[in-house]
Structure 1
């Protein structure tokens, strides 16, 4: 019997978007277990607390993993990605790419990660064209100005974002 293939899908997920969910679903096809690593990343000035984001990701992703028959876990982390990958026993890092700007950043990150541990592969999944323009940062900005974010995030997430921003037109 071959060893279990463990992958991680790291991110801030503030909030989780339909684009994240698309990459998550597609990443499930590549592994026996997928660990979603929710990063602290205070430099991004998150709208949701770490605990809220972990809960949100678990709620939105767990049913998809269960339907796919893939073992699943959501873990918060505040450490070097490669250390986190080693700690959870991952051999694959799943990343989504939307545009050239993503590629440039991910290219540098992957090169650095390879220098740290060449046994952990990074797999890039191109964003579905429907989701290429979705970014958590933009979802929050649209919501802050009272825009409709229903097409960008799951229904429950949209409600949570709207509740957080409490938009009041001037």
Structure 2
């Protein structure tokens, strides 16, 4: 009896997408039939990149990865997963400090949809320190993020005006 590999969803705001996210998505694509990078349209938060631009650069980043698809969603993730035919959710876990939040989220999602399975993947060691929050902070303070984000994200960021750096100089 043959079983086809399941479809997985890798959800997040990806604001901005960084190399740790890319690592997790590409490694998951080697495990699952297909990975859908599901970009949350969070209307409550102002993103670093405008939402349509964020989705565009994420698509550009994964253009050469046929098993990775990029889609946007709003509302409950489990509803998006059902509509996509996915039963597996991928979550990246950098450190033990991520576990409590991720574990609670996995249990809540299973409560909402008992068929969902959450798979935790750790990034390659070189990416364990990356977080979108820290990258945003470095960028807004005038720092260089080129070694943290894929080229399409960097090109999009470079089109944005930066706020004044400490000391009053805008970059």
Higher share in helix: 1
Q: Structure 2 unaligned runs (5+)?
A: none
Question: 1: CA distance between counterparts of 2:143 and 2:55?
Answer: 25
2:110 alignment partner in structure 1 = 114
| Residue 44 to residue 99, structure 1, CA distance change in 2 (3 Å) | farther
Q: Does 1:140 align with 2:141?
A: no
Q: 158, 162, 168: which one pairs with 2:154?
A: 158
2:10 and 2:90 in contact (8 A); partners too: yes
Question: 1: CA distance between counterparts of 2:100 and 2:113?
Answer: 20
Post-superposition CA distance 1:109-159 (Å, at most 9, x none): 001111122212110001222111211121111111111111110123123
- Normalising by structure 2, we get a TM-score of 0.88
Question: 2: CA distance between counterparts of 1:132 and 1:138?
Answer: 12
Aligned length: 165
Give every structure 1 segment of 4 or more consecutive aligned residues whose post-TM-superposition deviation is greater than 2 Å: 1-4, 42-45, 165-170
1:90 alignment partner in structure 2 = 86
SS of the equivalent of 1:159 reads helix
Q: 126, 151, 168: which one pairs with 2:122?
A: 126
Question: 2: CA distance between counterparts of 1:28 and 1:109?
Answer: 22
Post-superposition CA distance 1:42-64 (Å, at most 9, x none): 3442112221111111110121x
